Amino acid sequence: MHPFILATLGGWLIGIAAVMMMGLKGRISGVSGILTGALTEPADERLWRLLFVVGIIIGGAIPVALSVDFKPPEPDASVLIIIIGGLLVGLGTGLGSGCTSGHGICGISRLSPRSIVATCTFMAAGFICVYLLRHVFGVL
């Protein structure tokens, strides 16, 4: 199947997951926030968040178990870049109260001004970062 068709189907699934979470549990499905809460909330608020995170790992594993075509290549980055990138993604989504799912999907769907500004900002930062790495420094 063409990547754009798979992307559209996958997008629908991400949307369905967000609507399920809201309709059933009354929460936005922001991965960075739920992941943080799974570690820092009081014990009785931790389990559902942990299950959501475990669910993502299971859901990510299923297509690959069915067909190796779904297995992506390993990220092409040195250990140092992985550490800097991981820290920036964690600090940034923690500080900015959300990531691609919480701001980009759930927040924009609620027309939240914070999420619209955050999404435009992190997209722009991503564009600039890749532009500099690939076309100015030629390292990516």
Partner 1 sequence: MSHQKAGKLISALASGIVFGLGMAVSGMTNTDRIQGFLDIAGQWDPTLAFVMGSGLLVTFIGYKFVLKNPTPLFADTFAVPTRTDIDKALLIGAIMFGTGWGLVGYCPGPAIAGLSYGYSSTLLFVPVMVLGLLLAKPLGKLL
Chain residues 56-85 in contact with partner 1, contact rule CB under 8 A: 56-64, 70-77, 79, 81-85
As measured in angstroms, the least distance from the Cβ of 3 to partner 1 is: 5
User: Residue 103 CB, nearest distance to partner 1 (Å)?
Assistant: 8
**Sign of the CA dihedral running 71, 47, 86, 110:** positive
User: At its nearest, how many Å lie between partner 1 and the CB of residue 42?
Assistant: 15
Q: Are 94 and 36 in contact (CB under 8 A)?
A: yes
Do residues 31 and 49 lie in contact, with contact meaning Cβ atoms separated by under 8 Å?
no
User: Does residue number 96 form part of the binding site for partner 1 (CB under 8 A)?
Assistant: yes
Q: Does 137 bind partner 1 (CB under 8 A)?
A: no
| Stretch 116-135 residues interacting with partner 1 (CB under 8 A) | 117-119, 121-131, 133-135
- Taking CA atoms, 21 is separated from 47, 54, 136, in Å, by 15, 15, 42
User: Can you state the angle between helices 31-40 and 79-95, rounded to 10 degrees?
Assistant: 90
Which residue in 84, 22, 90, 9 sits closest to 52, CA to CA? 22
Among 26, 42, 137, 138, which residue interacts with partner 1 (rule: CB under 8 A)?
26
**Residue carrying structure tokens 């997008």:** 11
Residue list 27-56, contact with partner 1 (CB under 8 A) = 27-29, 31-32, 35-36, 39-40, 47-49, 51-56
Measured CA to CA, the distance from residue 53 to residue 47 in angstroms comes to 10
- Binding test (CB under 8 A) with partner 1, winner from 41, 42, 43, 100: 100
- Among positions 42, 46, 113, 138, the unique one binding partner 1 when judged by CB under 8 A: 113
Total binding residues toward partner 1, as defined by CB under 8 A: 107
